[in-house]
Every structure is written in C-alpha cells, then in structure tokens.
Amino acid sequence: MDPYKHSKIRKTAGEGVVLFGCLNAVVSRRAIGNLFLALALLCHAGCLDASTTRVYNFTVKPLSVTRVCKTKSLVSVNGMYPGPTLYANEGDRILVNVTNSAEYNITIHWHGVRQLLSGWSDGPVYVTQCPLQTGQSFVYNFTLTKQSGTLLWHAHATWLRGTVYGAIVIFPQSGTSYPFKFPYKEHVIILGEWWNANVEEVESRALLSGGPPAVPDAYTINGWPGPLYNCSQKDVYVLKVFPQKTYLLRVINAALNTDLFFSVSKHNLTVVEVDGDYIKPYATDKIVLAPGQTTNVLLSTDQPAGRYYMWGSPYISAQNVSFQKTQTLALLEYKGLFNAAAAPVLSAFPIPNDTNSVTKFSTSLRGLADSLHQASVPQTVDKNLLITVGLGVKPCGENHICQGPNRTKFTASMNNVSFVMPDIAVLQAYFFNISGVFTRDFPDNPPFPFNYTGLPPTNQTPDRGTKAVVLPFNSNVQVILQDTSIQGTESHPIHSHGYSFYIVGQGFGNYNPSNASSFNLVDPPKRNTIAVPVGGWAAIRFKADNPGIWLVHCHLEIHISWGLASLFLVPNGVGPSQSLPPPPPDLPKC
Ligand SMILES: *[C@@H]1O[C@H](CO)[C@@H](O)[C@H](O)[C@H]1NC(C)=O
Ligand SMILES: *[C@@H]1O[C@H](CO)[C@@H](O)[C@H](O)[C@H]1NC(C)=O
Ligand SMILES: *[C@@H]1O[C@H](CO)[C@@H](O)[C@H](O)[C@H]1NC(C)=O
Ligand SMILES: *[C@@H]1O[C@H](CO)[C@@H](O)[C@H](O)[C@H]1NC(C)=O
Ligand SMILES: *[C@@H]1O[C@H](CO)[C@@H](O)[C@H](O)[C@H]1NC(C)=O
Ligand SMILES: *[C@@H]1O[C@H](CO)[C@@H](O)[C@H](O)[C@H]1NC(C)=O
Ligand SMILES: *[C@@H]1O[C@H](CO)[C@@H](O)[C@H](O)[C@H]1NC(C)=O
Ligand SMILES: *[C@@H]1O[C@H](CO)[C@@H](O)[C@H](O)[C@H]1NC(C)=O
Ligand SMILES: *[C@@H]1O[C@H](CO)[C@@H](O)[C@H](O)[C@H]1NC(C)=O
Ligand SMILES: *[C@@H]1O[C@H](CO)[C@@H](O)[C@H](O)[C@H]1NC(C)=O
Ligand SMILES: *[C@@H]1O[C@H](CO)[C@@H](O)[C@H](O)[C@H]1NC(C)=O
Ligand SMILES: *[C@@H]1O[C@H](CO)[C@@H](O)[C@H](O)[C@H]1NC(C)=O
Ligand SMILES: [Cu+2]
C-alpha cells in the first residue's frame, strides 16, 4: 500500500514531508476548506484504514545532500533524509521489505518495538541477524502489540544510523482515541546531527585513534540545521499553525552522540507520552531527550500571531569533553497578521551542563496508570542485577598513535565487560546451538565492588567478551544501572531491545539498597531508553516474557562502539505461544 494513502501530506519547498495528522471526522468537519477533507473522512476513530497489515518497501541507497555549505553523498532510505515515516495503528502487523542498494552492510532496527516472539526482526547487526549485504533484501515482520505513540527506526550497523533514520507513528487501536485532548493536527519533529564527513569515517577514525570522536558540524530539526549555521539561512524547517489550536508534536532524538533539549519559544509543552507509552500530562517550558528517546507533547497556539523559534540545544553531562556548542532552530509560524519583518521570538537556551533541568524533567514523569491503561509494575523481584555502566581505557598497542587518556585508547563496559561484536549473529548461534560465539556468564553484580562514583580504581582496563545474562522466562527482573567515575561520570542512555521497562527510581551517587523503599511501584514511567543520571543510578523493572537474545546498550553511538553493551538471554517458556519461532527463510546469512 502507499504509506501515505490515509495520511494528509503536504510538501513545502525545503521542508520535506509534513504530516497533517490524525484527524477524525468530527475534527475534519471543522476544517472545511482543508484540501484533504475527503481523505480525512475515510478515517474515523483511528487515522488509518481498518487493514491490519501494513506493507512498506525500504530501499537503502545513496543520496546527495547539501547542508552547512557542504554537499555529500549519504546513505538514505528511499532517497529521503530523514527517511519515510511508518504509520500504523496499535496492534497492526508491519512488513517492511528492506533492500540494500548501498555500498555498506546494513540492518534496520525498529527502536522500541517489543518484537514479541519476532526477535529475528529486531535488527542489531550480529546480535539478531547478519547484515544485508549490497543487493540483498529481507522482510522485517512484526506486530505493534500494546504500544501507541511515537517510536523510531534506524540503521543498526556501524554508524549508519547517523543518516538512516525515521519516525514510527502508532495511532491508537481502531475504535479508541488518545487519552488527552484530540489534537487539531500533528507533526513529527526529528532531532539529528549533521556531519560534513562521512559518518562511517568519523567512527573509523575515532576507533583507530582511540580518542574521542569528532563533533558533529550541526544539529538538525527534520534534517534542517536552521539559520545559526553558515549557508543555512533558508535551510529551516517551518511549521505553519493556526492560532488557538492544539497540536501534537511527536519529538524524536535521532542524534548519534548528543542528548538534546527541545523547546518552542514562549510556549509551554504538555508531555503526554514517552517512548510509546502514555504518561500523566506534564507541562514544562522544555523537554530533554537522550538519543533513542521519543516524547509526544501538546502545543497550544495561544500566543499572539507571529513567528517563534523552536530549538534543539545540547545537554552535555560529561566534564572536559569537546562538543558542538551551537543550536538548531526551526520556525513555528502563525497564520494571521503580524510584522513579518520582525525577527522571530527566541527564548534563552539552557547551559549545556544544566543537569538540574534534566533531573527536574525526568523525575516529574509519571505513568498514566488509569483504569484503561493500567500499569503492570512488578511488585516483587525474582532476578536482581546491579550493572555498572561507564568508560575505561585499554593499552595502545604497538605502532599506534593513541589519542585516548595518557596515550591509551578509550573503551567502555558494563559490569567491567567490554562487549565484543561476534561475526555470527548471537541469536542464530543460540537457536542452532553453535558454540564459541557467546557465553552465558555475564555477572549479576560488579565483579569488584568499588566506590562507583568516588575515586576511580587504578586498573581501568575491563575484561572483554560476548557475554549474556540469563533471565528466566517470566521472571520479574530488576536492574540497577550504576554510572561510574572511570574516565569521568556521564549520563549514559541505556536502551534495551525486546523490552520496555518501568523506571522505579533514580538518584545521584552510589545506589544504596535502602533506596528500594522509596521506589515508585504505582505509576512509574515506562520507557525503552533510560538516561542514567550523571554520577548516579537508575532502577528499572520488567517481566522477562519475551524469549530471545536482546541487546542492551548505551545509545551514545561512540559508547556502543567502545563496548558499552551486553545481552539479555530469555529462554523459551512452555509451548509455541511462549517460544521463539524458527528464523524466516530470507534471514541474511553471514
Ligand atoms: C513494493 O515493491 C514491489 C516490487 O518489489 C511492488 O510490487 C509493491 O507494489 C511495492 N509496495 C509498496 C507498498 O510500495
Ligand atoms: C523485496 O524487494 C526486492 C526489490 O524490489 C524484490 O526483489 C523482492 O522480491 C522483494 N521481496 C518480497 C518478499 O517481496
Ligand atoms: C509474518 O510473521 C507471521 C507470524 O510469524 C507469519 O504468520 C506470516 O506468515 C509472516 N509474513 C510474512 C510475509 O513473512
Ligand atoms: C562558519 O564559518 C566560519 C568560517 O569558516 C567558521 O569559523 C564558523 O565556525 C562557522 N560557523 C558555524 C556555526 O559553523
Ligand atoms: C508555562 O507554565 C508556567 C508554569 O506552569 C506558567 O507560569 C507560564 O505562565 C506558562 N507559560 C505559558 C506561555 O503558558
Ligand atoms: C557548568 O559548566 C560551567 C562552565 O564550565 C561551570 O562553571 C559550572 O560550574 C557547571 N555547572 C554545573 C551545574 O555543572
Ligand atoms: C595518566 O597517568 C597518570 C600517572 O599514572 C595518572 O596520575 C593520571 O590520572 C592519568 N590520567 C588519566 C586521564 O587517566
Ligand atoms: C539445541 O539444543 C537444545 C538443547 O540441547 C535442543 O533442544 C535443540 O533441539 C537444539 N537445536 C538445534 C537447532 O539443534
Ligand atoms: C565515595 O566517594 C564519594 C565522593 O568522593 C564520597 O563522598 C563518599 O563518601 C565515598 N563513599 C564511600 C562509601 O567511601
Ligand atoms: C576488570 O577486569 C579486569 C580483567 O579481568 C581486571 O584486571 C580489573 O581489575 C577489573 N576491574 C574492575 C573495576 O572490576
Ligand atoms: C538513597 O539512599 C541514600 C542512603 O540512605 C540516601 O542518602 C539517598 O538520598 C537516597 N537517594 C534517593 C534518590 O532516594
Ligand atoms: C559484510 O557482511 C559480511 C557477512 O557478515 C561480512 O563477511 C563482511 O566482512 C562485511 N563487510 C564489511 C565491509 O564489513
Ligand atoms: Cu554511554
């Protein structure tokens, strides 16, 4: 089917694609004059037709793009940057035929999709599948079970997700609606990074030198950097709005290595959903998203007619690191009379290390947890893990010029194990009993306890391996994620594949078992990516009801390159409804 058939799309010069959103018949009647009225009438309670399978073709191919005075060829999907949006209703099956017509090995990950019993379609390279090599196709096949809101898809091989990314928009199940005021229109806002260099080279140069990676040349909103950058006066995403309406913005952070604040000058944002799960409405002047996080906000166009800048600004939690200190701007432009010669309104940016704002935001989120959207927070724990997340160093090796600390190379680890990417997919090794690819001895606790956020240990070189921790089927799992001060504390956005989890607690310093008494087991937010507080900890809980091999990793791309990753192995339960089926016949081979 045509992915946009039942959505209202407008193309504007220099703007890419704007979704005119999820209108139901009632709303659209008020929008008489809307060119798309006829289409809107087709969509009653949901936005899409009643079919329950949605088919997409993704062709991965080069695209020539010019930004900030630089023209380059980047890897795209279907010649779009950002890539196409996937639209579906909750409960639908999605089939995406991905064909690789680029020169790189690639996979696509459907970030935040639970992949219940469909682990073969998850996407992380050499974890659930071997890559699609040039010329190969693979049909990703999964359902969107009990999730609605905004997620994203992105490449999951090397650093290709720097340009290969797009939104996943999941409307409420047919016949149901949002648990908040029905928006007049809705739009996808994807924050990203632009690199003048080829992102693959940025990665390989960093890994060769062992030092920190180059910083991006710009941040972007829907692929556009905005007027603060050179050659970019016209490269601005423009969102035109009517006054006195409520808009739903689906905000996504697709940056490789940067947490970003997002705000709309002079407007409050009411957060209603994060990472594909509803939360209690929370009003704020700015939101913050780590890479991989998504946030739906309502925006009321209640200010005087005019032009207001929306912006993305970096949140940098690590000390003494270089970063891109600029901001990406986009325009919110009211329909109506105003002085078009006046400069658009621009509110003040936060300081880059504004951890106070980040803490206020993240600790204010509460799961919706009403009678229709009940929370199922595990009240008891069967499997308890304490996992340190942090950096480290490794020896330079001979004949190298190493640019890490003290002429070493940077590395990173979880529980002192730096993840080694195998060359056969772990899920295949698991399913077909191929030995020598991974082991099941990832430790439940740090092997040598130390003052994690105090003075770092002198030996900062972790162990290496492809190690999984086994989570018994249907067990209630609690993981305390603990930042370390090794090579500096930093907020690591930890993402789990195959599971969303409840964030039951967080704090600064070292986790203390007495902290469990103040966990929120009533209405915690549910996410797939938790930004562990810098120099602190976060506690997450979930039920291990999805058999398979699941990558859990830092979503700062340089950190996963350095090994900040591990594997959850969840064995089958009883019978086919609790077991991972065999791989699809077209799964790429190594
Ligand atoms: C996908 O591509 C196939 C050809 O490979 C074509 O027959 C089909 O119509 C396309 N489907 C969509 C939804 O574009
Ligand atoms: C996927 O798309 C490719 C390229 O168009 C095509 O050759 C292949 O037959 C398609 N696969 C399926 C299952 O439709
Ligand atoms: C998708 O997966 C479902 C469930 O395993 C299966 O029944 C169906 O045949 C698959 N569809 C395609 C096109 O592979
Ligand atoms: C614009 O270009 C100048 C000259 O090359 C450079 O010094 C400056 O950093 C650039 N500004 C941005 C925001 O990239
Ligand atoms: C935004 O919210 C704050 C706190 O609730 C309030 O003081 C302020 O007036 C609001 N601003 C706008 C523009 O609504
Ligand atoms: C933020 O950075 C500035 C400049 O480096 C520093 O002076 C300040 O103490 C930092 N603030 C916090 C909250 O870390
Ligand atoms: C570099 O090595 C010296 C001497 O061993 C040590 O004191 C210092 O902390 C090291 N620096 C870093 C950044 O690891
Ligand atoms: C793998 O080993 C398990 C346990 O020994 C066995 O039940 C299963 O059939 C084996 N799978 C394959 C594909 O050989
Ligand atoms: C850990 O280090 C911090 C920071 O130096 C210090 O305040 C704290 O007392 C130390 N904790 C223990 C148990 O030594
Ligand atoms: C990490 O593992 C290495 C290798 O076994 C060991 O030398 C080092 O002391 C360990 N460090 C910590 C903090 O556990
Ligand atoms: C965690 O427990 C420690 C020790 O009792 C306490 O100092 C700290 O405030 C607690 N943190 C949170 C977030 O509850
Ligand atoms: C592409 O993938 C194949 C199969 O895993 C592998 O043999 C090959 O080395 C990969 N190529 C590159 C450039 O990584
Ligand atoms: Cu990290």
CATH of the domain at 255: 2.60.40.420
pTM for this structure?
0.93
Ligand 6, CB within 6 Å, residue ranges: 351, 353, 355
Indicate if 55 and 191 belong to the same structural domain.
no
Cβ 235 vs Cβ 226: under 8 Å? yes
What distance in angstroms lies between residue 235's CA and the mean position of ligand 1's atoms? 32
Indicate if 344 and 440 belong to the same structural domain.
no
What distance in angstroms lies between residue 547's CA and the mean position of ligand 11's atoms? 34
Indicate if 465 and 332 belong to the same structural domain.
no
Q: How many CA atoms lie within 13 A of 164 on its CB side?
A: 33
The whole-angstrom separation of Cα 377 and Cα 103 is 45
State the pLDDT confidence band at 398, using cuts at 50, 70 and 90. Answer: confident
Give me the percent of the chain exceeding a pLDDT of 70. 92
Is the per-residue pLDDT at 239 higher than 80? yes
Does the C-beta of 139 come closer than 6 Å to ligand 3? yes
Ligand number with the minimum distance to the CA of 581: 3
Would residue 307 count as lying in a domain? Answer: yes
Is the per-residue pLDDT at 42 higher than 90? no
The confidence score (pLDDT) of residue 24 equals 31
> Average pLDDT, whole number, for the chain?
92
Would residue 56 count as lying in a domain? Answer: yes
Indicate if 146 and 260 belong to the same structural domain.
no
- Output the residue whose Cα is nearest ligand 8's atom 3: 433
State the pLDDT confidence band at 411, using cuts at 50, 70 and 90. Answer: very high
Is the per-residue pLDDT at 547 higher than 80? yes
Indicate if 30 and 156 belong to the same structural domain.
yes
Residues whose CB is less than 8 angstroms from the CB of residue 173 and which lie 6 or more positions away in sequence, other chains included: 46, 89, 90, 91, 148
Ligand number with the minimum distance to the CA of 94: 3
Indicate if 313 and 403 belong to the same structural domain.
no
When divided into structural domains, the chain yields a total of 3
421-432 average pLDDT score = 98
The confidence score (pLDDT) of residue 47 equals 60
Residue 13: give the domain boundaries: 9-171
Indicate if 213 and 243 belong to the same structural domain.
yes
Which of 137, 138, 141 to probe ligand 2 with, by most ligand atoms within 8 A of CB?
Answer: 137
State the pLDDT confidence band at 27, using cuts at 50, 70 and 90. Answer: very low
Strands 468-470 and 529-531: unpaired
Q: Is the model more confident about 35 or about 402?
A: 402
Indicate if 136 and 195 belong to the same structural domain.
no
Give me the percent of the chain exceeding a pLDDT of 90. 89
The whole-angstrom separation of Cα 139 and Cα 153 is 15
Q: Is the dihedral of CA 199, 482, 551, 277 positive or negative?
A: negative
DSSP state letter for 228: T
Question: For the CA atoms of the chain, what is the radius of gyration?
Answer: 23
pLDDT in tens, 48-76: 776 799 999 999 999 999 999 999 999 99
pLDDT in tens, 480-521: 999 999 999 999 999 999 999 999 999 999 999 999 999 999
pLDDT in tens, 360-374: 999 999 999 999 999
What distance in angstroms lies between residue 45's CA and the mean position of ligand 3's atoms? 27
Q: Which two tokens stand for residue 292?
A: 């991989």
Indicate if 163 and 190 belong to the same structural domain.
no
* Residue from 137, 143, 105 nearest 124 by CA: 105
Which residue among 331, 364, 397 closes a domain?
A: 364
What distance in angstroms lies between residue 57's CA and the mean position of ligand 1's atoms? 6
State the pLDDT confidence band at 423, using cuts at 50, 70 and 90. Answer: very high
Ligand number with the minimum distance to the CA of 325: 4
Which residue among 305, 337, 364 closes a domain?
A: 364
Does the C-beta of 133 come closer than 6 Å to ligand 12? yes
What distance in angstroms lies between residue 248's CA and the mean position of ligand 5's atoms? 18
* Residue from 13, 17, 132, 156 nearest 79 by CA: 17
Does the C-beta of 433 come closer than 6 Å to ligand 8? yes
Which residue among 364, 391, 412 closes a domain?
A: 364
Helix/strand/coil for 356: helix
What distance in angstroms lies between residue 137's CA and the mean position of ligand 2's atoms? 6
Indicate if 200 and 75 belong to the same structural domain.
no
Indicate if 497 and 408 belong to the same structural domain.
yes
Q: Is the model more confident about 24 or about 140?
A: 140
Which of 512, 517, 518, 520 to probe ligand 11 with, by most ligand atoms within 8 A of CB?
Answer: 512
The confidence score (pLDDT) of residue 515 equals 98
pLDDT in tens, 563-581: 999 999 999 999 999 999 9
Indicate if 167 and 215 belong to the same structural domain.
no
